[in-house]
A and B are shown apart, each in its own frame.
Chain A
Amino acid sequence: MKKFASLIKTLDSTNKTNVKVQALADYFTDADDSDKVWTIAILSHRRPPRPVNTTLLREWASDLANIPLWLFEESYHIVGDLAETIALIIPSAKTSTEKNLTQFLKEMIALKKKTDEAKKSYLYENWKTLDYYERFVFTKLITGGFRIGVSQKLMTRALSRAVEIDEDILAYKLMGNWDPNKISFQELVLEENASDYLSKPYPFYLAYAIEGEVADLGDVNAWSAEHKWDGIRSQVILRNNELFVWSRGEELVTDKYPEFSALIGAIPNGTVIDGEILPYLDGAIGTFNDLQTRIGRKKVSKALLEKVPVILKAYDLLEWEGKDIRTLPFTERRKLLERLVETITSGTPADSEARTDKKPLYLSPTIHFSSWNEVAEERDRAREMRSEGLMLKRKDSPYLVGRKKGDWWKWKVDPLTIDAVLTYAMRGHGRRSNLFTDYTFGLWNKNEAGEKELVTFAKAYSGLTDAEFRKVDAWIKKNTLERFGPVRSVTPYHVFEIAFEGIALSKRHKSGVATRFPRILRWRQDKKIEEADSLSTLKKLIP
């Protein structure tokens, strides 16, 4: 644990990528093998389930610190991190531990089944004896959510440096289902083991947003274009008559989307398709809002399945006849994919709405064009197509690992924007703890009495610079009207231009409208609140 805590401390106390990679690489060289496996698991979001719920954690921590619970809660809102709050308020110990990370995690896994009394005494014992940083890391392992600025990609790079195995190969090995409690470092990282690969997805190839002019990409004929669908990026795998659906977040979501089991028997074994899960209502693509009703559900009711069925818009084929074909040029992979979908539709065009086969597999059509201008015109149709814009793929491009520049680009439509008034604020988390950075925005509306009032329409917490956030934070602290726990209402004064990707009617929102990915575009210090937009202006943007 000492080594792990000191690794986390190093990672946490630098902003320099190189220092992080080196610290991780050193750790992957020195640590116990089982600790290495657990560290990989933790940094790739494979933590054991939380053994103690946070309500009890709060109660017990404030108990041990001898402070009332409300004071603990207030402190937590300001510190912005539960484990950090607990580590800070508990009286400090100078002792340290000899137990390694694996032992701690095994204890935590066992802890889940124990009585509350046993849990409490386990926590007390460790909280009282670990020093500040170990106590923080220990509590962090209990609460989960290790966000310390280390992406999986960065971790993989460090591991690659330590074990001298190619980064892309490691990325593949670390994907899918493995249990840190059962697998050894040898098996997970060092060994070649074909039988483990049954359920494994390939690392997703991710595109960057295009920079500068699209024409700078050169000869238009070297490129393929298609719409960029707004759903869940996924891989559908059929191997050995078993179907697996993986989301881009490396979550196995097979059970959430039972529709796809219809593909067993319909597509051959040894097939991996890359595509987008989309809601498909009455022969047309729905909104992301529709899909939202499916995302959170582990078990889907029959009624919901009928109300919001999903399909896969397929755009790439990664494995065919059991062979990894990622190095083939895009056009060739695409040809194989088209043929595959055609065998299912028995002749009807694969992206047609008139299909009779009812299989949830559709082709993401490529666009015909002969100039960049024509590509741009198609991009302008994105909103009516319910897409986010276009994807541009070089025709001869292989399917790469992770986010890479050059062969694939996303070319999104410009966001919709509206001027709204800051109405509520909450403190942020992590590096924004103790700063009011999470904002709620309102638009003008006439109430039943005919008076103008501000109606909440969106929350946003990104888009300002650190300096701007500091200014707004200072202003909020001086202009608070009321406090509702962590939330403060503020004097309506500041106008911000809010950008968002899409908009749809919604019964769940007070304004009656849901916006997709709202964020702050700029602080309109030149505008008075009277000049902010109204809810009716927003509603006119609904397609």
Chain B
Amino acid sequence: MKKPLLEFTNKGIYCSAAKVYLDPWQPVDKAIISHGHADHSRYGHKHYITHHRNVPIISHRLGEINVIGKEWGETFVINNVKFSLHPAGHIIGSSQIRVESKGEVWVFTGDYKTENDGISTPYEVVKCNTFITECTFGLPAFKWIPQKEVLDDINQWWAENQTEGKTSVLFGYSLGKAQRLLKYLNPDIGKIYTHGAIENMTRVLRPLVDFPETTLITRETKKEALLGNIVLAPPSAHGSTWIRKMVPYVTASASGWMTFRGARRRRAIDKGFVLSDHCDWQGLLDSIKATGAEKVICTHGYTEIFSRYLSEQGYDARTEETQYEGELGELNAAKEEPVEMN
């Protein structure tokens, strides 16, 4: 039997014909990287290939690496296998990876969302035979509201906290969610303060996107200066002494998980905004249909449930174990140590 174009190995998704891995989780010689989140772009590969908008991101995260940046849709051939990157709409520089050999096309989505967030290049439908998809939110309980409504709510929440003389603390992952929030925060309401992890990543991205002005919280920042303003912080900062020093404050989290009342209560967050960089249920189903794929492989999220549903809908669907975490990674992100504030 001939080998499939892409295989799932203990190091990652592997194209044996080209000797190339996609988003591998063990060190390899040649890796094509979908996007800059830690579970997809790891340390230790000899060669990285990714979209050029992702180059500054992974260079910032991983330090000195040997990386080549590609354009959207630019075809590069390795051992007769054709590769190209196409926008995934997940975060800035995030791609789907298209692999073609002998007339057969596979697409690996990495993480993706179909709504245009205005800072990531919008998701593009790529026709294929086999679609390797994430399904972080592959349950019918997940249904996103248009971004504009959520972001208006967030600005309104900030303005309300301001009238009560409180600091607004908004949690979002330091790469992706934080910049999406920042892009739409209304600087007419007040100043936007940042946690170090977010400030550093935003600085890397400023040449690519026009963001409102931010102020890094440092040792010199007085908590009185924060009152009425907003602080952007990674989820891992929740409950830290760094945050507790900001009293009086109100916390909010922006994540797809905020759909569940339990998720918000469990984390003792005052307010939850449902805003995700992944597809909701309908988004997943629509994009799978649009690719025209007959085979679907589900990699991370509610894989068992989602692939069972797809099978019932007539797809040849299965799951594969990977080490991608989707937005769960966001929830359980490692502590990013902030600078102490006086």
Contact = CB atoms under 8 A, between A and B. Distances in A.
Interface of A: 12-15, 65, 67-68, 70-72, 74-75, 78-81, 84-85, 88-89, 92, 149, 429-435, 466, 470, 474, 483
Contact of A85 (B141, B257, B268, B309): B141
A78 B302 contact: yes
Interface of B: 139-143, 257, 259-266, 268, 270-272, 302, 304-305, 308-309, 312, 332
A434 B263 contact: yes
Contacts of B261: 12, 81, 84, 433
Contact of B141 (A13, A78, A92): A78
B139 to A, nearest CB: 5
Contacts of A68: 309, 312
Contacts of A474: 332
Nearest to A89: B140
Given A13-B270, A474-B332, A75 B139 contact: yes
A88 B141 contact: yes
A65 B304 CA distance: 20
A431 B261 CA distance: 7
B156 to A, nearest CB: 15
B263 A433 contact: yes
A13 B266 contact: no
A433 B262 contact: yes
Contacts of A483: 304
18 contacts: A12-B261, A14-B270, A70-B308, A71-B140, A71-B305, A78-B139, A78-B302, A80-B262, A81-B262, A85-B141, A88-B140, A88-B141, A430-B265, A432-B266, A434-B257, A434-B262, A434-B263, A435-B266
A13 B140 contact: no
B150 to A, nearest CB: 13
B262 A15 contact: no
A74 B143 CA distance: 16
Contacts of A72: 140
A92 B259 CA distance: 14
Given A80-B262, A434-B262, A466-B266, A74 B139 contact: yes
B342 to A, nearest CB: 27
A22 to B, nearest CB: 13
A442 B309 CA distance: 34
A470 B263 contact: no
B139 A430 contact: no
A88 B302 contact: no
Nearest to A474: B332
A430 to B, nearest CB: 6
A435 B272 CA distance: 18
A63 to B, nearest CB: 13
A429 B139 CA distance: 18
A518 B290 CA distance: 52
Nearest to B266: A431
B260 A13 contact: no
A490 to B, nearest CB: 16
A258 B257 CA distance: 51
A494 B105 CA distance: 44
A72 B308 CA distance: 13
B146 to A, nearest CB: 12
B214 to A, nearest CB: 28
Nearest to B325: A474
A434 B260 contact: yes
Contacts of A81: 261-262
A89 B265 contact: no
A147 to B, nearest CB: 11
A435 B141 CA distance: 16
Contacts of B259: 88
Nearest to A65: B140
Name, among B141, B265, B270, the residue most crowded by chain A CB atoms within 10 Å (CB to CB). Answer: B141
Nearest to A67: B140
A463 B308 CA distance: 36
A81 B263 CA distance: 12
B264 A84 contact: no
Nearest to A70: B308
A433 B140 contact: no
Contacts of B302: 74, 78
A132 to B, nearest CB: 9
B143 A13 contact: no
Given A13-B264, A71-B309, A431-B262, A92 B143 contact: yes
A149 B332 CA distance: 26
Nearest to B309: A71
Nearest to B305: A74
Contacts of B270: 13-15
